[in-house]
Amino acid sequence: MLPVERRNRIKNLIQERQNMKISELSELLKVSEMTIHRDLKPLIEEGFVSKSFGGVTWSEVENESPHSTQSSNTCVICQRAVCERLAYRIIRNDNQIEMACCAHCGLLRHQQLGSDVMQAICHDFLRQTTISAGSAWYVMDTSVQIDCCQPQVLTFELQEHAEKFVTGFGGQVFDFTAATERLHQKMKEHGSGCPHHD
Ligand SMILES: [Zn+2]
Ligand SMILES: [Zn+2]
């Protein structure tokens, strides 16, 4: 059986039965579970099936609404449309990519996921270069409004640039850990400006 045929077979099987275990699929199609996992990947990405406990579930119903929560263009925390310039991208250990609209939501999600984050990427606010979130510098309480979630968080590649930015526009510079702490502290003090966090 060609891989393409097998993938279609898998798709049909899951659609018929709604729920299937990886081991069932592996037995029926006489291929390894690893092959099944590989075949399932595009189906999961296209939204036809979703992973469930110990297996996979048919999920075309959800797929009918173009903006399900899994859409890569909406923020995983607040469902806001993601603008690439401010985006905070999280790659989980299973290679699943989650998008957050800005570093505010990105830091919140990053903390929720904990050790399930393989890599997190954001952008330098001034130069738009791609930076690793763990080594980025975070500016909060600045006077510049980025028009996303409150309290807002801006990201910089270089500490020096962040410091200069703060000199001109006010605010404070934090590293990754301190920024996460400060964000939670501020949200506790003032509540969040983002309605979805309530
Ligand atoms: Zn958001
Ligand atoms: Zn945001």
| Tens digit of each residue's pLDDT (9 = 90 or more) over 63-95 | 444 444 445 589 999 999 998 899 999 999 999
Q: What are phi and psi of 144, to 5 degrees?
A: -75, 125
> How many Å lie between the centroid of ligand 2 and the Cα of residue 95?
23
For residue 27, the CA-to-ligand 2 centroid distance in Å is 45
CA of 78 to the centre of ligand 2 (A): 7
Q: How far apart are CA 21 and CA 11, in angstroms?
A: 13
pTM above 0.85, yes or no: no
Distance 74 CA to ligand 1 centre (A): 8
CATH 1.10.10.10: which residues of the chain?
Answer: 3-63
- Interval 167-196 mean pLDDT: 86
Cα-to-centroid distance, 148 and ligand 1 (Å):
8
Place of tokens 């993938």: 7
Distance between CA atoms of residues 7 and 71, nearest Å: 22
Find the 72 Cα to ligand 2 centroid distance in Å.
14
Which ligand neighbours the alpha carbon of 80 most closely?
1
Confidence check: pLDDT of 178 > 60: yes
Structure token digits, residue 99:
């998008």
Structure tokens at 57: 């579930």
113 burial via Cβ count (<10 Å: 0-12, 13-18, 19+): middle
Classify domain 3-63 at the CATH class level. Answer: mainly alpha
How far is residue 140's CA from residue 60's CA, in Å, rounded to a whole number? 41
Rounded to whole angstroms, how far apart are CA atoms 75 and 164? 29
Query: Which pLDDT belongs to residue 193?
Result: 52
Average pLDDT of the residues in 104-118? 96
Two tokens, residue 47: 């939204």
pLDDT at position 48, please? 85
Task: Say how many C-beta atoms besides its own lie within 10 A of residue 129's C-beta.
Answer: 10
Sheet containing 172-174, strands listed edge to edge, beginning at the edge strand earlier in sequence: 153-156, 137-140, 172-174
